[in-house]
Amino acid sequence: MLDPAGPERSAGPRRGRKSMIMIRPADGRAVSGVITRVADHDFDVDEFLARPLTARVATSGPTVRPAWYLWEDGAFWLLTGPWARLMGRVLADPAVAIVVDECDLVTGTVRQVIARGQAELVPFDVPRGRRKLARYLGQDESRWDERFRRYLHDDPAARGTTWLRLRPARLTARDLSYRVPGGGPSGLG
């Protein structure tokens, strides 16, 4: 849930003006660190993260890997299991960072969300798994590659399918969009 950090907020984004918005964890718990969104231009973080973009997940090592994710209940949800090194790395050190961004040179749209915190490994649930996969693969499961359908129909305990959940201790969102020469007001309202 986004809450204005100040008493006023502009009706639309303005170049050079920064707005601060506090993002509180969905469960309302106190966390160490600051959870803020700093933006040159306001944009709806929940709407941005609802898009089927690819995240990059960094763990200790450091290692970085691309990943499909679900943004739900104020948390990032990623599928993992014993087949992936991600699970072992998080067990060894739960500190992770996730970056989701877009850069469109044609329109000048440049937005990024960076999240940091302690990841948790939690039991897999099929309904959330279906929502996550459908956002990337479409609603018609019959068109999905068999390996993706198995996540939903195999026994998660036997397969070891697990969720990596990150409720960010810090989340920063920036809209760095710019005007394209000879073009319209790309991403600037």
Distance between CA atoms of residues 185 and 109, nearest Å: 10
Compute the distance between CA of residue 106 and CA of residue 73 in angstroms, rounded to an integer: 33
pLDDT-derived band of residue 184, with 50, 70 and 90 as boundaries? low
Q: Where are the domains of the chain?
A: 19-175
- 164 vs 60, residue with greater confidence: 164
**Per-range mean pLDDT, top range of 23-32, 56-65, 131-140, 176-185:** 131-140
| 141-160 tens-digit pLDDT | 999 999 999 999 998 888 99
Q: What is the pLDDT of residues 38-48, one digit of tens each?
A: 444 478 888 99
What the block records as the tokens of 71 is 């943004």
Sign of CA dihedral 83, 89, 92, 95: negative
Domain 19-175 has CATH 2.60.120.1440: no
Element counts in the chain: helices (H) and strands (E): 5, 12
d(CA 55, CA 102): 10
pLDDT at 32 over 50: no
